[in-house]
Amino acid sequence: MFEYEILAKEGRARTGIFHTPHGDLQTPVFAPVGTQATVKTLTPVHLEELGASLVLSNTYHLYLRPGDELVAAMGGLHNFMQWPKPMLTDSGGFQVFSLAQMRKIDDDGVTFKSHIDGSTHRFTPEKSIAIQENLGADIIMAFDECSDPNDRAYSQIAMDRTHRWAERSLDAKTRNDQALFGILQGGVDPELRAVSAAFIASLPFPGIAIGGLSVGESKDEMHAMLDVVTPLLPENKPRYLMGVGTPEDLINGVLRGIDIFDCVLPTRLARHHAAFSSEGRLNMMNASFARDPRPLDESCDCYTCRTFTRAYLRHLIMAKELLAGTLISIHNLRALIRLIEEIRSHISAGIFEKQAPVLLEKWSNNTQKSTKDD
């Protein structure tokens, strides 16, 4: 269990299989985000049909509501949300640092107030692992501290703490049917990133996550950090780039040796009526679509594009019908999963490096940020 088999390599890009108790994951893989034990507006049937193989859920949110013990009593996350395939939970660290109020960090853990009702809680590495064991995902994360990437002094403190918390997370783990991934940090400092990669790689984690990127630094800085880090990581463990996943990020990440991605962007954009397409990002509210009989993207094989016109999608949006969010979410997730399938087949054929500029050009007008938050 939890072995990573590399099937093909091209430069630093790889395709492989990661074995989990709920089935084999083919990598590179893109994971839709199900923050509250649901990928917003979609059923598990939709997710299976559009080719999702891994779903992420959030420890911080599920701990606060409905509570990890309730989820455990209902048979764990897979049973609770009726998702039969592999699942991943984060450690809760990122949300504590980004969402919770009045947080106080010390070397032992973090005390914070719930963003829902203001009640006081405390996360430590041991608590995060206990919650994730109650939730029962196949892949779980060590508790880490994400710093402001441009504050080097704080990045060093947060990295040192993350290293000690990684060891404590390993010691706290009791279940042997969950793969615990270590997380490396280090802001945008190449020296700190190299130290963190070497340290986390030295611990007996079956997979390694790269945290603290896509949090305000530039794309060039993110790529530079990946260029420092992935050559220092063992080949035989999957690498997970946390919270990153525009079409351009998937292509650039795989080129630099990343295997697992997740991002809220496809479903968040869908709720704001924006669709990925090979013509660039489309705002489906646009009046020019009012009588457009074409599918959202003529090159797409998703249920939405096989079935409905742009005119119908725009009508649903103008009438504030909930189905609009569902149909555009199906399309946006399928677009990313289809892109990752294409990347896998290019690596198998040994033509990914040659095809990467073509793919980047095709998806280049989809990457500008149009929404800041939910």
Determine contact, residues 89/141, Cβ cutoff 8 Å. yes
Nearer to Zn ion, 149 or 266 (CB): 266
Q: Measured from the CB of residue 50, what is the shortest distance to Zn ion in angstroms?
A: 9
Active-site residue 138, yes or no? no
Nearer to Zn ion, 3 or 301 (CB): 301
Q: Measured from the CB of residue 328, what is the shortest distance to Zn ion in angstroms?
A: 9
From 26, 240, 50, 253, select the one nearest 141 (Cα to Cα): 240
Nearer to Zn ion, 302 or 356 (CB): 302
Q: Which residues bind Zn ion (CB under 5 A)?
A: 300, 302, 304-305, 331
Nearer to Zn ion, 50 or 347 (CB): 50
Active-site residue 90, yes or no? yes
Instruction: Return the C-alpha torsion angle 89, 169, 136, 133, nearest 10.
Output: -140
Nearer to Zn ion, 311 or 351 (CB): 311
Q: Measured from the CB of residue 343, what is the shortest distance to Zn ion in angstroms?
A: 18
Q: Measured from the CB of residue 282, what is the shortest distance to Zn ion in angstroms?
A: 11
CA torsion sign for 41, 45, 48, 54 is positive
Nearer to Zn ion, 233 or 316 (CB): 316
Close Cβ partners of 358 (under 8 Å, ≥ 6 residues apart): none
Determine contact, residues 13/352, Cβ cutoff 8 Å. yes
Describe the crossing of helices 125-135 and 152-172 by its angle, rounded to 10 degrees: 50
Q: Phi/psi class of residue 345: alpha, beta or left (left: φ > 0; alpha: ψ in -120 to 50)?
A: alpha
Q: Which two tokens stand for residue 323?
A: 């189905």
Close Cβ partners of 21 (under 8 Å, ≥ 6 residues apart): 1, 138, 177
For residue 40, the one-letter residue type is K
Q: What is the DSSP letter of 309?
A: -
Q: Which two tokens stand for residue 305?
A: 């594009």
Instruction: Given the residues 68, 90, 138, 189, select the one marked as catalytic.
Output: 90
Q: Measured from the CB of residue 44, what is the shortest distance to Zn ion in angstroms?
A: 19
How far is the CA of 177 from the CAs of 69, 86, 161, 166, 259, in angstroms? 18, 12, 27, 19, 21
Q: Measured from the CB of residue 337, what is the shortest distance to Zn ion in angstroms?
A: 11
From 321, 265, 314, 311, select the one nearest 291 (Cα to Cα): 311
Tabulate helix, strand, coil % of the chain (nearest 5): 45, 20, 40
Q: Which two tokens stand for residue 33?
A: 């985000």
Instruction: Given the residues 249, 259, 262, 297, select the one marked as catalytic.
Output: 262
Close Cβ partners of 109 (under 8 Å, ≥ 6 residues apart): 122, 123, 124, 125, 127, 143
Nearer to Zn ion, 87 or 302 (CB): 302
Q: Measured from the CB of residue 278, what is the shortest distance to Zn ion in angstroms?
A: 10
Nearer to Zn ion, 179 or 335 (CB): 335
Q: Measured from the CB of residue 294, what is the shortest distance to Zn ion in angstroms?
A: 12
Active-site positions read: 90, 262
